[in-house]
C-alpha cells in the first residue's frame, strides 16, 4: 500500500475522533429535546459556562471579582488555592445541577403548555444571559484548562505504525486528547443507557420522552424529570467544555461549538442518542475525507463547515426525521 | 422634608460633578464582549489608559481635556457603523475602528464627514495611498508590510536564499485572512519559494485537516494570519504535530500573550511580526502606574498593562495625541476640528527623539506621513515567545519591507478603487 492510502486512513481515523467530539455536543441537545421537545439553543453556552466554572474553581478565582473590586475598591482576584481536577469537576457538576434547578424553577415552570417556539426563544434568552453572567462571574480573558488530559500526537501509535507505508509515511497521527475524549464519550453513552434502562428515574425519563400526558397520569413529576435531564445535559456540556477547552483554552468562542452539533442533529435525528453518536461520526469522517480528497486538492480548502451541512441536507431529503429520529405522523 | 433635602443635594452633586463639555473627543470603538473580547479588552484598556494619563498628568492636550466616549462593537461590522453614527455628532476627532470590516464601511462615510480614520496595522492596505484615501491612515505598517516582513526575516535567517523552500500560510478564511496572499505570491515569484494556502473557516476551533496536511507535507515554515480562537488552536495543533515552533511565524494579530499562554511550554519559540515594542520596560509605564493604575483610574483591572495588545492600544492613543498636538501647533488653537486633525495626520513625523521625550524610546519605528503616503515607512520587527518567562522579546530591529513589490500592489488596488469611485488625484 502507498503512503497516500495510509494518510487517507489517518484522515479517516481523525475524522472519527473529531466526530466523537461533535457527538458530545449533540448529545446534550438530544437529551433535552427528547424529554421536553425543547431545542436548547443554550447548549453551547452551557459548555462554555461549565468550562469557565471549572477553571475558576480549580484556580481559586474569586467569582465576580471585577464587579466586587469596582464597587468596593478592593483588589481581590484569587482565594489562593488550586483544587485537584477531580474535585473541581465534581463541584462544577454540582453547579450545573443548580443551574438545572434554576432553569426549571424560573423558566420552564412558567412556560408549560406554551408552543415549542416560545420555549426555543426562552433558551435563546438563556444563552445570552448565561454568556453575560459567565463573563461577569469569571471574566473574559482566555484561561488555560488543565485537568491532566494528555495532548499531542500519540507517540506509541506513531512509532508502531510508521513501518506500514515506507519512508514517506510517518505513522498514524492520533491526538491523545481525542482518544481520551472517545473513551469518555463511550463511557458516557454506556452510563446513559444503563441509567435509562435500569433505574427508576431513568425509566421515568423514558416515559416522559415517550408521552408527557401518559407519564403525568401515572404520577411522574415532569418538573423533577426536567431538572434531571437539564442536569445530565449540563454534565455532558461540562465534558464537551473540557475536551474543547483543553484544545483552545477556555474562551467565549467555545459557545460556537454548538454550530458543529447542528448538522449532526439533522443527520442523526433530534430524538436519538445513538443517532447523535452515529451522526457525529458520519459528519466527522465525511467532512475530513471530503477535505482530504476533494476540498484541499481541487477547491482551495476550508470545505468542512459547508460540507457538514450539505451532507446533513442530503440525508434529510431521504430521511426527513434523520437517521434514527422518530417518524412524525400527524392525523389530519 | 429630609428626603427632599437629600434629593436636592444629590441633584446638585450631579450637576456640579458633570464634566464640562470637552473639546477633544476621541471615541473608542471597542469590543469587550463576545468571542473576540480577549483581544479587544487589552487594546481598549491601553487606548483609554494613555488618554487618561494625558488628562491626569498633563491636564489634557494644549489645555483641552480629552473625553473618550466608548462604544461596544462586539467586533461586529453593523454595530461598529452604528457606533460611528452614534458618536460622530459629539465632535469626534478621529476613529480607531479596530476591525477591518468596520474600516471598509467607514472609509466612504468618514471621508464624507471629514473625519480621519486611523487603522493601526489593519484595515484596507491600499489606503496607504493617501492620494486616493484622503481620510484613512494606516501608519506605521500594514498587512502587506507584515507579509513582506515575515519573508525578509526568513531571508535574513537563510543567508538571503529561500529558493526552493516551502512555506504554508494558515489563514482565517475571510477578507482579513486573505490579505497577504497576493503579496506572498508575488514574493514567492521573486524569491523562488513555494506557497501552500491552508484556509481555516471561522471561528477556527477545528483545524485538524490543516495540521494533518502540514504534518504530511512538512513545509519549511508556517505563516499564520489568524485572530481569535484560531490563534490558540493553531499554536496548540502545531505543538501537537510537533512542528518546530521557531519556524512558525504569525502576523501581529496572532502574536498576543493569550495566543500562546493556553499551549503552555509547547508554545516556546513561536514568533510573530510586530511594529511596536514589547513589555513595559519604558518610562511611560511608570507614569501609567502612578497617574492611572494607582489612582484607580485604569480602564481595566491593571493586569494587562504591558501585554502586547495593551501596548498596541497605548501606541494608537499616543499617535492620536501626537497628531492632535501637531494640529494645535499648526492652527494655533487648542479646540481643533476633525479636519484640522486630518491635515496634521498627513504631516505627522515620529522620530526617535520624539518617542524618547514621550517615555517611549525604542518602542516603535520612526516614520513620516505625507499626502501620498498615509502608511508611513512600513518598518517591521520580529518578536519571539519565551514560555518559561512568559514574555515576548524583540529578536529583530524594525526593518524596511519590500517596497518594490508592495508599492506596485498598493498602486494597482488603490487606482482601481479610485476609478470605481471617481476619485481624483489631490496630492499634486
Report pLDDT digits (tens) over B37-78.
Answer: 889 999 999 999 999 999 999 999 999 999 999 999 999 999
How many CB atoms lie under 10 A from the CB of residue B286? 11
Task: Tell whether B285 and B270 lie within a shared domain.
Answer: no
Residue A94 domain-assigned?
Answer: yes
Residue A251 domain-assigned?
Answer: yes
Which of B3 and B277 is assigned the larger pLDDT?
A: B277
What is the dihedral sign for C-alpha A140, B50, A76, A84? Answer: positive
Report pLDDT digits (tens) over A274-307.
Answer: 899 999 999 999 999 999 999 999 999 999 989 9
Confidence at residue B10, expressed as pLDDT on a 0 to 100 scale: 52
Task: Provide the strand spans (E) within B87-215.
Answer: 117-118, 136-137, 166-172, 194-200
d(CA B73, CA B37): 10
Retrieve residue B209's grid coordinates: 485537516
Closest Cα partner for A233 from A31, A21, A20, A26? A31
Task: Tell whether B242 and B391 lie within a shared domain.
Answer: yes
Task: Tell whether B348 and B236 lie within a shared domain.
Answer: no
Tell me phi and psi for residue A241, to 5 degrees.
-60, -40
Residue B270 domain-assigned?
Answer: yes
d(CA B47, CA B43): 6
Which CATH number goes with the domain that contains B147?
3.40.50.2300
Quote the domain boundaries for residue A145: 3-256
CA closest to A301 among chain B residues: B199
CA closest to B261 among chain A residues: A144
Residues whose CB is less than 8 angstroms from the CB of residue B6 and which lie 6 or more positions away in sequence, other chains included? none
Asked if A167 reaches chain B (Cβ–Cβ under 8 Å), the answer is: no
Residue A283 domain-assigned?
Answer: no
Count residue pairs from A and B with Cβ separation < 8 A.
Answer: 116
Confidence at residue A332, expressed as pLDDT on a 0 to 100 scale: 67
Residue B5 domain-assigned?
Answer: no
| Residue that has been written with the C-alpha cell 464634566 in this structure | B19
Task: Tell whether B343 and B287 lie within a shared domain.
Answer: yes
Task: Tell whether B179 and B253 lie within a shared domain.
Answer: yes
How far is residue A49 from each of residues A235, A241, A253, A301, measured CA to CA in Å?
A: 11, 8, 11, 32
Confidence at residue B16, expressed as pLDDT on a 0 to 100 scale: 45
Tell me the nearest-neighbour CA distance from A273 into chain B, angstroms.
23
Tell me the nearest-neighbour CA distance from B229 into chain A, angstroms.
7
Q: What is the rounded average pLDDT of the residues A148-173? A: 89
CA closest to A153 among chain B residues: B240
Report pLDDT digits (tens) over A96-121.
Answer: 999 999 999 999 889 887 888 999 99
d(CA B287, CA B292): 8
> What average pLDDT does chain B have?
93
Confidence at residue B1, expressed as pLDDT on a 0 to 100 scale: 44
Task: Tell whether B395 and B258 lie within a shared domain.
Answer: yes
pLDDT classification of B14: cutoffs 50, 70, 90: very low
Closest Cα partner for B67 from B13, B113, B20? B20
Q: What is the rounded average pLDDT of the residues A313-330? A: 80
In sequence order, what DSSP letters do the residues of A205-221 get, joined into one string?
Answer: HHHHHH-HHHHHHTT--
**In B, which residues are within 8 Å of A10 by CB distance?**
212
| Stated length of chain B | 428
Structural domains in chain A (count): 1
ipTM: 0.89
Residue A308 domain-assigned?
Answer: no
Establish whether the linkage from the previous residue to B203 is cis, with ω within 30° of 0: yes
Q: What is the rounded average pLDDT of the residues A57-70? A: 92
Whether the per-residue pLDDT at A95 is higher than 70: the answer is yes
- Inter-chain touch A301–B37, beta carbons under 8 Å: no
Residue B93 domain-assigned?
Answer: yes
Residue B330 domain-assigned?
Answer: yes
Which residue of A77, A173, A257 is in closest CB contact with B205?
A: A257
Structural contact between residues B243 and B224, judged by C-beta atoms closer than 8 angstroms: no
- Inter-chain touch A135–B261, beta carbons under 8 Å: no
Asked if A63 reaches chain B (Cβ–Cβ under 8 Å), the answer is: no
Tell me phi and psi for residue A59, to 5 degrees.
-90, 0
How many CB atoms lie under 10 A from the CB of residue A120? 14
Whether the per-residue pLDDT at A230 is higher than 50: the answer is yes
Q: What is the rounded average pLDDT of the residues B308-322? A: 98
Whether the per-residue pLDDT at A3 is higher than 90: the answer is no
Task: Provide the strand spans (E) within B52-151.
Answer: 66-67, 70-72, 117-118, 136-137
Confidence at residue A307, expressed as pLDDT on a 0 to 100 scale: 93
How far is residue A324 from each of residues A259, A266, A267, A330, measured CA to CA in Å?
A: 20, 10, 8, 18
CA closest to A140 among chain B residues: B38
Asked if A23 reaches chain B (Cβ–Cβ under 8 Å), the answer is: no
Task: Tell whether B237 and B326 lie within a shared domain.
Answer: no
Which of A3 and B5 is assigned the larger pLDDT?
A: A3
Asked if A170 reaches chain B (Cβ–Cβ under 8 Å), the answer is: yes
Quote the domain boundaries for residue B327: 21-141+280-374
pLDDT classification of B5: cutoffs 50, 70, 90: low
Confidence at residue A330, expressed as pLDDT on a 0 to 100 scale: 66
Structural contact between residues B426 and B374, judged by C-beta atoms closer than 8 angstroms: no
Q: Which of B13-27, B167-181, B239-253, B334-348 has the lowest mean pLDDT?
A: B13-27
3-state helix, strand, coil in chain B (%, to 5): 50, 15, 40
pLDDT classification of B218: cutoffs 50, 70, 90: very high
What is the dihedral sign for C-alpha B118, B123, B128, B134? Answer: negative
Which of A32 and B224 is assigned the larger pLDDT?
A: B224
Q: What is the rounded average pLDDT of the residues A167-178? A: 90
**In B, which residues are within 8 Å of A244 by CB distance?**
205
Structural domains in chain B (count): 2
Task: Tell whether B253 and B389 lie within a shared domain.
Answer: yes
Asked if A160 reaches chain B (Cβ–Cβ under 8 Å), the answer is: no
Confidence at residue B15, expressed as pLDDT on a 0 to 100 scale: 46
Task: Tell whether B396 and B262 lie within a shared domain.
Answer: yes
Q: Which of A94-103, A316-325, B125-134, B216-225 has the lowest mean pLDDT?
A: A316-325
What residues pair up with B274 in beta bridges, in sequence order? B381
Whether the per-residue pLDDT at B241 is higher than 80: the answer is yes
Task: Tell whether B270 and B334 lie within a shared domain.
Answer: no
Task: Tell whether B73 and B164 lie within a shared domain.
Answer: no
Closest Cα partner for A323 from A254, A253, A274? A274
Closest Cα partner for A296 from B220, B150, B173, B202? B173
182-241 in chain A: CB under 8 A from chain B: none
Task: Tell whether B238 and B100 lie within a shared domain.
Answer: no
Residue B15 domain-assigned?
Answer: no
Report pLDDT digits (tens) over B138-164.
Answer: 999 999 999 999 999 999 999 999 999
Amino acid at each position: 500500500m502507498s503512503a497516500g492510502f495510509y494518510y487517507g486512513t489517518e484522515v479517516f481515523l481523525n475524522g472519527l475522533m473529531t466526530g466523537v467530539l461533535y457527538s458530545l455536543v449533540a448529545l446534550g441537545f438530544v437529551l433535552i429535546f427528547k424529554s421536553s421537545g425543547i431545542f436548547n439553543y443554550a447548549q453551547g453556552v452551557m459548555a462554555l459556562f461549565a468550562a469557565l466554572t471549572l477553571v475558576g474553581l480549580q484556580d481559586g478565582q474569586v467569582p465576580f471579582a471585577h464587579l466586587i473590586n469596582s464597587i468596593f475598591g478592593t483588589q481581590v482576584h484569587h482565594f489562593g488555592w488550586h483544587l485537584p481536577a477531580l474535585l473541581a469537576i465534581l463541584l462544577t457538576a454540582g453547579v450545573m445541577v443548580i443551574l438545572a434547578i434554576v432553569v426549571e424553577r424560573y423558566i420552564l415552570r412558567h412556560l408549560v403548555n406554551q408552543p415549542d417556539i416560545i420555549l426555543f426563544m426562552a433558551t435563546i434568552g438563556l444563552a445570552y444571559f448565561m454568556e453575560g453572567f459567565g463573563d461577569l462571574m469569571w471574566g473574559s480573558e482566555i484561561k488555560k484548562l488543565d485537568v491532566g488530559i494528555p495532548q499531542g500526537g500519540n507517540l506509541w501509535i506513531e512509532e508502531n505504525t510508521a513501518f506500514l507505508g515506507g519512508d514517506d509515511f510517518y505513522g498514524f497521527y492520533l491526538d491523545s486528547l481525542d482518544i481520551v475524549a472517545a473513551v469518555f464519550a463511550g463511557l458516557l453513552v454506556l452510563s446513559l443507557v444503563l441509567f435509562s434502562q435500569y433505574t427508576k428515574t431513568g425509566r421515568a425519563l423514558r416515559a416522559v420522552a415517550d408521552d408527557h400526558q401518559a407519564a403525568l397520569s401515572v404520577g411522574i413529576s415532569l418538573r423533577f424529570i426536567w431538572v434531571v435531564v437539564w442536569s445530565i445535559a449540563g454534565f455532558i456540556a461540562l465534558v464537551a467544555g473540557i475536551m474543547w477547552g483543553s484544545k483552545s483554552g477556555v474562551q467565549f468562542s467555545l459557545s460556537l461549538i454548538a454550530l458543529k452539533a447542528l448538522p449532526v442533529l439533522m443527520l442523526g435525528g433530534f430524538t436519538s442518542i445513538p443517532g447523535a453518536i452515529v451522526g457525529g461520526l458520519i459528519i466527522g469522517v465525511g467532512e475530513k475525507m471530503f477535505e482530504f480528497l476533494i476540498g484541499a486538492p481541487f477547491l482551495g480548502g476550508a470545505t468542512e463547515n459547508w460540507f457538514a451541512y450539505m451532507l446533513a441536507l442530503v440525508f434529510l431529503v431521504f430521511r426527513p426525521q434523520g437517521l434514527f429520529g422518530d417518524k412524525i405522523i400527524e392525523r389530519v | 422634608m429630609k428626603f427632599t433635602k437629600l434629593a436636592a443635594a444629590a441633584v446638585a452633586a450631579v450637576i456640579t460633578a458633570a464634566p464640562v463639555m470637552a473639546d477633544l473627543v476621541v471615541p473608542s470603538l471597542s469590543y469587550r464582549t463576545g468571542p473576540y473580547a480577549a483581544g479587544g479588552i487589552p487594546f481598549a484598556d491601553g487606548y483609554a489608559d494613555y488618554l487618561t494619563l494625558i488628562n491626569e498628568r498633563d491636564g489634557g492636550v494644549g489645555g483641552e481635556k480629552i473625553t473618550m466616549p466608548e462604544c461596544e462593537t462586539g467586533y461586529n461590522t453593523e454595530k461598529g457603523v452604528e457606533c460611528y453614527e452614534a458618536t460622530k455628532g459629539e465632535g469626534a476627532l478621529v476613529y480607531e475602528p479596530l476591525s477591518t470590516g468596520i474600516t471598509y464601511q467607514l472609509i466612504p462615510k468618514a471621508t464624507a464627514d471629514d473625519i480621519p480614520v486611523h487603522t493601526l496595522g489593519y484595515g484596507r492596505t491600499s489606503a496607504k495611498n493617501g492620494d486616493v484615501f484622503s481620510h484613512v491612515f494606516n501608519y506605521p505598517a500594514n498587512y502587506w508590510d507584515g507579509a513582506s516582513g515575515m519573508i525578509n526575516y526568513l531571508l535574513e535567517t537563510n543567508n538571503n536564499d529561500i529558493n526552493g523552500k516551502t512555506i504554508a500560510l494558515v489563514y482565517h478564511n475571510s477578507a482579513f485572512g486573505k490579505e497577504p496572499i497576493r503579496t506572498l505570491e508575488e514574493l514567492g515569484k521573486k524569491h523562488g519559494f513555494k506557497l501552500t494556502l491552508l484556509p481555516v473557516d471561522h471561528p477556527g476551533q477545528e483545524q485538524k485537516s490543516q495540521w494533518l496536511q502540514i504534518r504530511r507535507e512538512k513545509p519549511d515554515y508556517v505563516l499564520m494570519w489568524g485572530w481569535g480562537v484560531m490563534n490558540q488552536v493553531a499554536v496548540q495543533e502545531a505543538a501537537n504535530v510537533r512542528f518546530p515552533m521557531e519556524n512558525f511565524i504569525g502576523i501581529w494579530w496572532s502574536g498576543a500573550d493569550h495566543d500562546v499562554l493556553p499551549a503552555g511550554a509547547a508554545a516556546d519559540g513561536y514568533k510573530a511580526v510586530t511594529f511596536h515594542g514589547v513589555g513595559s520596560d519604558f518610562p511611560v509605564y511608570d507614569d501609567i502606574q502612578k497617574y492611572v493604575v494607582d489612582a484607580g483610574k485604569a480602564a481595566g483591572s491593571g493586569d494587562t498593562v504591558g501585554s502586547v495588545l495593551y501596548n498596541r492600544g497605548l501606541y494608537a492613543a499616543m499617535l492620536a495625541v501626537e497628531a492632535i498636538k501637531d494640529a494645535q501647533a499648526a492652527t494655533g488653537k487648542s479646540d481643533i476640528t476633525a479636519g484640522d486633525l486630518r491635515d496634521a495626520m498627513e504631516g505627522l513625523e515620529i522620530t526617535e527623539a520624539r518617542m524618547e521625550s514621550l517615555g517611549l524610546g525604542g518602542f516603535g519605528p520612526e516614520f513620516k506621513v505625507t499626502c501620498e503616503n498615509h502608511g508611513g515607512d512600513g518598518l517591521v520587527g520580529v518578536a519571539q515567545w519565551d514560555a518559561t518567562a512568559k514574555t515576548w522579546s524583540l529578536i529583530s530591529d524594525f526593518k524596511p519591507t519590500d517596497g518594490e513589490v508592495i508599492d506596485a500592489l498598493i498602486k494597482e488596488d488603490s487606482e482601481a478603487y479610485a476609478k470605481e469611485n471617481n476619485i481624483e488625484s489631490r496630492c499634486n
